[in-house]
Each structure stands twice: as structure tokens, then as C-alpha cells.
Structure 1
Amino acid sequence: MDDVTDRLAQLERDDEELVLDHFDRRDAWELGHRLAHVALERALPVVVDVRTPAGILFHASLPGATADNDEWVNRKSRTALRFEASTALLGTRAEHVGFDFFDQGWLDPADYTVAGGAVPVRVAGVGVVAVATVSGLTSADDHQLVVDALREIMAN
């Protein structure tokens, strides 16, 4: 197996496993706070965001983050909500089969991106209810921060 195939398999597993029993505004605050706390402890220059299609539930721009990170968050979040999959998974699937989301003008790169860091929040029996997004690091590191925080919430 190659690196893309291995990464794709891991991202598919994450997608299947990251399902919460419930998710409300309090949970959104907990998830966002958890992400922001880890980022502050590690001095990571990121923006942390948790939102639904209707609006933002948590947003923090931490030291070192820029306005560009806010734009990346908007694009990543929009993509994950539209396709109900993490942007890392979408990007890796596309890479695996040689597909370009933007080649045929299907998606506007000003509004969407498949850079990692946006992970849908799924609730058992309901589906995707929100998206948690981080921007400021590499795509893989942004994605992993969100996955780790979701796994912590699931464990508690």
C-alpha cells in the first residue's frame, strides 16, 4: 500500500468512528474550548471554529493567527458541511483517484477548499449537525487537532 492509500483508510475509519451520542450548544462550546485550550498550551497560531449551517457556535482566533486563517475556516467549513465529510478525507479521496474538485468549475475555490482541518460533527441517528474547523497549521495537523478533540469528547 502507498501513503495515500494508507491515509485514505485512516480517514475513512475516522469518518465512521467519530459519531457522538448528542451535540448541542453546550457541547459546541466544550469542543471549541478544548481545541482552543490545546492550541494555547502548544502556542499554535490557529483559528478554531464550530458552526452549523445556520451559524457560528464557537470561534477563537489565537495569537499568531491571521485574517487569512478566518477565510480558510470559512472555505473549509463550507466544504465539509456541503459534502458531509472531512476536508482531509475529500482531498485524499480526490488525490487517490486523480480528481480535481476545481478543474471543471464545479466548485469555486473562493468559496470551497479541500485543505484538511474541517471535520463534520455527527450525531448517531441524526447525521451531520455541525462542523469543527481549525486553520493555521498544515492540513494534516489541523485535521488531527479536531479529530483528537472529538475523540476526547466521545471518551467523556
Structure 2
Amino acid sequence: MSTHKALLQDLLQQEEEIQFSHFSNELALEVGLALLKDAKTLSKPVAIDITRNGLQLFHFAMEGTAIDNGEWIRRKNNVVNRFSHSSFYIGTSLKNAEKTLEEKYLISSQEYAAHGGAFPLIIRGIGPVGTVTVSGLPQQEDHELVVRVLRQFVEREKQA
């Protein structure tokens, strides 16, 4: 099995595991602040965005980020909203197929970024309702930061 195929299976498993029973505005604030706290331990600046049903619930750009981080967030979110998978999953899928977004889906890379960092906000039994996104680190690290923090909140919800 190619490394891309194994990674794709892992990424699908993450999407299966990281689902909430509900996601309130207050929870968005908690998740956003947890992402910020985790990012600070890395000593690298990131921009963080949480959007549900088109409404931006949390957005913060650390000192050292740029307007480009906001553009990356917008383009990564477009990928999640179109495909209902993490932007890292779609990017890995394209690498596996040896295709670009333009070649496979006839969509512009100016509007869509299949790079890690945007994860679907999934409500169990409903499906994707938004995005949790980080921009500023290498794409796999962006993705891992989001997954690490979201897992903590899903685990907390299970224990409640």
C-alpha cells in the first residue's frame, strides 16, 4: 500500500472519530483559545478560524502572521465546504492521483487550497456544518494542531 493510501485511511478515520454531539458559540471560543494556547507552545505564529454554517465564531491572528494567512484560511475552508473532508485529505488524495485541483475538479487554486489545516466541523448524525482551520505552519503541522485540540474536546464530551 502506498504511503498516500495509508495516510488517506488515517485521515478518514480522524473524520470518523472527531465528531461532536453539538457545537455552540461558547464551545467555539473554548476550542479557539485551546488552539491558540497549543500554538503558543510551538513558538510559531498562526491564524485560527472557526466557522459554523457560514458564521465566523472565532478568528485570531497571532503576532507575526500576515494577510496571506487569512487568504489561506479562506481557500482551505472552500475545500472543506466543497468536499466535506479535511483540506489535508483532499490534498493527499490529489497527490495519490497525481492530479491538481484544476485537472481533477476544474476548480481554481486561487479559490481553493488543498493544503492541510482545515478540518470539517462534524456534528454526529448530521454531518459537516463548518470548519476549524489553522494557517501558518507547514501543512501537516497545521492539520495535526487542529486534530490534536479537537480530539481533546471530543474526549471531554464523551466523558461528560
Range of TM-score over shorter length: over 0.9
Q: Secondary structure at the match of 1:65?
A: coil
1:36 is the counterpart of 2:36: yes
Deviation at residue 104 of structure 1 after TM alignment: 6.4
Say whether the 8 Å CA contact 1:20–1:123 is kept in structure 2.
yes
Question: Structure 1: 5+ residue runs without aligned partners?
Answer: none
Distance in structure 1 (CA, Å) of the matches to 2:105 and 2:155: 41
User: What corresponds to 1:149 in structure 2?
Assistant: 149
Deviation at residue 42 of structure 1 after TM alignment: 2.4
User: What corresponds to 2:8 in structure 1?
Assistant: 8
- Where do 1:9-88 residues align within 5 Å? 9-88=9-88
Deviation at residue 3 of structure 1 after TM alignment: 2.1
Amino acid at match of 2:123: V
User: What corresponds to 2:96 in structure 1?
Assistant: 96
Q: Secondary structure at the match of 2:45?
A: coil
Output one character per residue of 1:76-117: Cα deviation in whole Å (capped at 9) or x when no partner. 012111211100001111211223211367212111110110
Over aligned residues, Cα RMSD in angstroms? 1.4
Say whether the 8 Å CA contact 2:88–2:118 is kept in structure 1.
yes
Distance in structure 2 (CA, Å) of the matches to 1:2 and 1:71: 32
Distance in structure 2 (CA, Å) of the matches to 1:104 and 1:95: 11
Distance in structure 2 (CA, Å) of the matches to 1:90 and 1:27: 27
Say whether the 8 Å CA contact 2:54–2:130 is kept in structure 1.
no
Distance in structure 2 (CA, Å) of the matches to 1:4 and 1:19: 24
Q: Secondary structure at the match of 1:29?
A: helix
Output one character per residue of 1:39-84: Cα deviation in whole Å (capped at 9) or x when no partner. 1232221101001242211001012211111110111012111211
Q: Secondary structure at the match of 1:116?
A: coil
Q: Secondary structure at the match of 1:20?
A: coil
Amino acid at match of 2:57: L
Distance in structure 1 (CA, Å) of the matches to 2:4 and 2:59: 31
Count of aligned positions: 156
Larger helix share, 1 or 2: 2
Given the two structures, how large is their TM-score scaled by the length of structure 2?
A: 0.91
- Percent identical pairs in the alignment equals 32
Say whether the 8 Å CA contact 2:4–2:92 is kept in structure 1.
yes
Q: Secondary structure at the match of 2:48?
A: strand
Distance in structure 2 (CA, Å) of the matches to 1:13 and 1:38: 23
Distance in structure 1 (CA, Å) of the matches to 2:105 and 2:27: 37
